[in-house]
A and B are shown apart, each in its own frame.
Chain A
């Protein structure tokens, strides 16, 4: 069989065997509705409670502050819309957020519920805490900055912004989308100083269709999905029991403080990939050279279009992704790369590899062997 290399772990990850084993009973014999009072229901309830504790331990917060959702996008929606509905005001959002935050903020802006200040980033995609400080007004209710940018891997100074906000006043809430950070960075909400934090299980070897919103106790927020009293009356609808159990099982394997080895291993492979790809002419790294996620290697390639590169890679069995306009349903160039000051022309040649647990050094060697001729061919057929 042809060799296959999966380098799109930032898009999604496979479910770990022990995660699947934990979930399986809740898809089969332990199928109860957690709201039922009989034994089936109580079994499911206990499983959700346990998972909630696992997540709370990981984030260093109280179990009551954890709300299970369907994904990080829903968490982002609840965080922004819920806080805004509780108070009419001004919010500050980084201009390189994931669409889950970006489009939610735009929605609120369009409906006239808020005024949004879009934070600029530097050429590496970094938010300057000074800019956050300058943007704060008397009626600022919320600041939202993602922990790790999913397209270019830049790590934002979340703890620094958190400290800054607390020094100004206690009224401005701080939200972070931590989807890409869970596996590798410290996500202790006390250290980060965040009031709201979104995450999604399928980015860290858990199942798809389940996420979390951490809500610091006392945060004024109004639920967005009305109905029953599930999730501390914060998110109505019968719980995704197996999914929640899977999320809890998955998050337990990432006890950051105890084990930095997986991050070191992935980082070494990532650096080898970056060095190898930068040896190709007309290629530049996107994102910060040092302050970057251990698993993300992202580039812009001059004179070769992103989707065409992906097709060429796919033919060799290699899975990667691109922020090229041609790869998105909306046919718009990446707002992240544009905000970083990269020319529209270059954004069309964006290419992202994201590494994971199963990535080997042989995989990296294989990509470094296959990618250069793909780029070369596309440049050959392009107008000179």
Chain B
């Protein structure tokens, strides 16, 4: 039987990774995005570390209010960027998140945009804090 959601989506919905928040600080960027169509709100916290002068995602946490697809994409997206160089995390596309979840139903694709968007905003927030 073809399911509405893939097993991977359901598994991430049941056991979402990296749920929570990070304490504020100069090394933490926060991105909050909302999708008024679906009513989803996603808040991502990224803690930036430095390895050999390269900035990387030392820790990441997420809080999500939304449907199964929103919860699963936020979980998967945080897993995909954890430990990765900041430049690489910034490039994460929603398509990559959808593929990692073994696909999303067509009507749910718009939910996947949020996670990548929230990550970009969190990184932008971190950069603005550290401009000077």
Contacts and interface: CB of A to CB of B under 8 A. Distances in A.
Contacts of A378: 65
| Chain B interface size, under 10 / 10 to 19 / 20 to 34 / 35 or more | 20 to 34
A325 B13 contact: no
A381 B38 contact: no
B46 to A, nearest CB: 15
B63 A305 contact: no
Contact of A381 (B5, B19, B40, B67): B19
Secondary structure of the B contact surface, majority rule = mixed
A255 interface: no
A42 interface: no
Given A329-B107, A344-B39, A382-B41, A303 B65 contact: yes
A342 interface: no
Contacts of B10: 311
Contact of A326 (B5, B32, B39, B63): B39
A348 interface: yes
A34 interface: no
Interface in A279-329: 303-308, 311, 315, 324-327, 329
A383 B32 contact: yes
A378 B71 CA distance: 9
B16 A326 contact: no
A325 B71 contact: no
A283 to B, nearest CB: 16
A308 B13 contact: yes
Interface in B24-47: 32, 37-43
B37 A307 contact: no
Interface string B1-26: 00001000010011010010100000
Contact of A382 (B64, B67, B68): B64
Which of A306, A347, A382 has the most chain B CB atoms closer than 10 A to its own CB? A382
Nearest to B42: A383
Interface of A: 303-308, 311, 315, 324-327, 329, 331, 333, 344-345, 347-348, 378, 380-384
15 contacts: A303-B65, A305-B65, A305-B66, A306-B67, A311-B13, A326-B67, A326-B69, A344-B39, A381-B16, A381-B63, A382-B63, A383-B41, A383-B63, A383-B64, A384-B21
